[in-house]
Amino acid sequence: MSLTVVGSVAFDALETPFGSRDKILGGAGTHFGLSASFFTDVNAVGVVGGDFGDDEWAVFQRHHINTDDIEVVSDGKTFFWRGKYEYDMNVAHTLDTQLNVFETFDPKLSENSKNADFLFLANILPMLQKQVREQCENAKFVAMDTMNFWISSMKDAVIETIKVVDCIIINDAEARQLTEEPSIYTAARKILDLGLKAVVIKRGEYGATLFTNDGYFVVPAYPLESVFDPTGAGDTFAGGFMGYISAQNEINDAVLRRAMVYGSVMASFNVEKFGTERVDALTYPEINERFKTFKTITEFDDIPFEKAVSA
């Protein structure tokens, strides 16, 4: 099975209470691709400038990510974002955004990327997301992301794109904004009614919730003593989620639930260091061990109500 991701490949500059970095590899497509590469073959579609160097390409190469569809604009500069986090690591303060070559990004998909079994549409212009979806007619399962800016400025276009995918992965604030519902449970049901198979709502340090037509499933965030950099955690979650699904022979409720756990596992590693540093150095035994820990911290005995009350 193969998985295509369309999204940003970028440089980030970060400042958190635990340190800072002046220029590191980032971008939604990057974080997603690295995470998904532990489960399946990944095709990355994006654009970078001539300042994207050997060290950055090496990260993709180490994880066997196909970069044939990452366009290089030799006389341009790569998308750049500078941000700062206070002790509330759920809130990123944007200090500078330079779209550079990403401003005119027009995804160009090879036949290999078009024919992938699975597709993830990272946070880009919703009209572009829809155009890419229409090129990947044979994809078995398609998921997308979006953001508050698109919802507030072109909500109709976001909704039209949602209608042609199978799953959306967004945070709780975006779900409320999209549906104008204060409850994420009501919001998720309204989004499912657009024709989706699954809605995943990320809740930061409180974990994430999966909604399907058959019910819902909640996975907690992994308890960490130190969070160095939450940038890209949501995309890393999506990469683990979609990567696991694309490695399975079928898609059912049990697979989606396990995918939620793997998404949370991958996101928990992402925040332990800056940028891609932690996931780039990750090993399969570490992933398996943390998956087991997730299972342990969410298990409890099935005690009948009468016995539980009398105990």
Query: At residue 217, does pLDDT exceed 70?
Result: yes
Task: Answer whether residue 309 is part of any domain.
Answer: no
In a domain, 256, yes or no: yes
% of the chain surpassing 70 pLDDT:
98
Average pLDDT value for residue range 268-288: 96
Q: What is the mean pLDDT of residues 230-249?
A: 96
**Residue 22 lies inside a defined structural domain of this protein:** yes
The mean pLDDT of the chain is 93
Residue 1 has a pLDDT of 84
- pLDDT reading at 25 higher than 90: yes
Chain centre to alpha carbon of residue 230: 12
pLDDT at site 17: 87
Q: How far apart are CA 123 and CA 118, in angstroms?
A: 17
Question: Closest by alpha carbon to 138, among 158, 160, 169, 109?
Answer: 109
pLDDT higher than threshold 60 for residue 311: no
Coil vs helix vs strand at 116: coil
Q: How many domains does the chain have?
A: 1
Question: Which CATH number goes with the domain that contains 230?
Answer: 3.40.1190.20
Q: What is the pTM of this model?
A: 0.94
Structural domain for 258, as ranges: 2-298
Strands 208-212 and 198-202 come out as antiparallel
- Percent share of the chain, pLDDT over 90: 84
Q: Which amino acid is at 77?
A: K
Going by C-alpha positions, the residue among 13, 12, 27, 24 that lies closest to residue 232 is 27
At residue 205 the predicted structure's pLDDT band, cuts being 50, 70 and 90, is confident
pLDDT at 228: 85
Q: Distance between CA 181 and CA 176 in Å, rounded?
A: 5
304 is a domain residue: no
Q: What is the pLDDT of residues 132-157, one digit of tens each?
A: 999 999 999 999 999 999 999 999 99
Question: Do 95 and 84 touch, CB atoms closer than 8 A?
Answer: yes
Q: In this structure, is residue 311 part of a structural domain?
A: no
The strand pairing partners of 85, in sequence order, are 92
* pLDDT for residue 308: 62
pLDDT at position 81, please?
A: 94
Angle, CA of 29, 35 and 38, to the nearest 5°: 130
| Helix-then-strand count for the chain, H and E | 13, 13
Helices (H), 39-102: 54-62
List the beta bridge partners of residue 49: 73
pLDDT at 310 over 70: no
Residue 79 backbone phi and psi in degrees, to 5? -45, 135
pLDDT at 132: 97
Residue 310, domain member (yes or no): no
Compute the distance between CA of residue 253 and CA of residue 108 in angstroms, rounded to an integer. 33
